[in-house]
Structure 1
Amino acid sequence: MSYTLTDADKAAVQTMRDDERFNHFISRVCEHDEIWILTDEHGCMMLTSDDDEDCIPVWPHAEYAKEWAVDDWSQCKPEAISLKVWQSRWVPGMEDDELMVAVFPTPDATGVVVEPRDVQEAIDRKKKPGRHN
């Protein structure tokens, strides 16, 4: 159920700070009920943050994920994860494996690196009944 990403959307994201991209990510993910990762035949792509933490990068749209699929990652393809699957399997699995989430990195910025539970709590707050997106 992917939405169309416009050039204006892409341009706006380029000027956002990491925290603004985090909030944009949460809004889009809640609106479309999916999170995007990059995968190849070995599984999902992982990064090491500046603080030496193992992270799974996530994006709100396939197009943003594709921007990372270059050089060493050129074999990777965007893959959508439903919010239901993210909450039930990914969050507990990442916590068990002590993995962090790199939220909406761009080719020149790591993004906000947080615990999986922090991403889920932000989604839960945004989706709270009676709250408008």
Structure 2
Amino acid sequence: MATPLDQTKIDNINQYDAEKRYQYLIKEVVANREIWILTDEHGCVMLNSEDEDCVPVWPNKEFAESWATGDWDHCKAEAISLNKWHSRWSHGLEDDELAVAIFPNQNEEGLVIFPDEFDFELKQQARKSK
């Protein structure tokens, strides 16, 4: 379980560009063995990029919860274990032709990658961390 982030750390991380947020997310997800999504009564919330339907993911509960405002104020942050992500989510997203929106910031900026690429990066980081 991750240590809660203080506001100063959250503010600093929010200044990261999309690539740096991606690197942070990979390290945090592997270290904490969980990835965060937002859910509502219909399941996982989705974003639409120019070309893809995406599932947004965050490295920490605090960042996921910060998106639960406005149209999404009824949503809840939910952790998915890294094992469950590898065993079910990656294949399920691929089968449904969905991409992953990596740690979108409040301006809805973030990298969009395919589930197999994301899975590969997570596994690479896990190998480095051993």
- Fold-level similarity (TM above 0.5): yes
What letter is aligned with 1:70? T
Query: What TM-score results when the alignment is normalised by the length of structure 2?
Result: 0.95
Which residue identity lines up with residue 95 of structure 1 in the other structure? E
Match of 1:17 in 2: 17
- CA displacement at 1:57 relative to structure 2: 0.2
Matches of 1:86 and 1:112, distance apart in 2: 18
Runs (4 or more) in structure 1 with deviation over 4 Å come to none
Amino acid paired to 1:6: D
Counterpart amino acid of residue 39 in structure 2: T
Q: Residue type matched to 2:11 in 1?
A: A
Once the two structures are TM-superposed, the CA of residue 32 in structure 1 deviates from its matched residue by: 0.2
State the partner residue of 2:91.
92
Q: 3-state DSSP class of the match of 2:94?
A: helix
Q: State the one-letter code of the partner of 2:60.
A: H
Q: 1: CA distance between counterparts of 2:45 and 2:110?
A: 15
SS in 2 for 1:57: strand
Alpha-carbon shift at residue 96 of structure 1 (Å): 0.2
Give the number of aligned pairs: 130
RMSD: 1.2
Unaligned runs of 5+ in 2: none
Residue 81 in structure 1 maps to residue 80 in structure 2: yes
CA-CA distance at 1:132 after TM superposition = 3.7
> How far is the alpha carbon of 1:2 from its aligned partner?
3.0
Distance (Å, rounded) in 2 between the aligned partners of 1:99 and 1:132: 28
Q: Which runs of 5+ in 1 are unaligned?
A: none
Map Cα deviations across residues 12-55 of structure 1 (whole Å, 9 max, x no partner). 11211100000000000010000000001110100001x23100
Which deviations, in whole Å up to 9, do the C-alpha atoms of 1:64-85 show, x marking residues without a partner? 0111111111100000000000
- Taking every aligned residue pair, what percent have the same amino acid on both sides? 44
Distance 2:15 2:120 in 1: 26
**Structure 1 SS opposite 2:79:** strand
Q: In 1, distance between residues paired with 2:77 and 2:29?
A: 15
Tell me, yes or no, if structure 1 residue 119 matches structure 2 residue 118.
yes
Stretch of structure 1 that moved more, 22-31 or 7-16: 7-16
The one-letter code of the counterpart of 2:37 is I
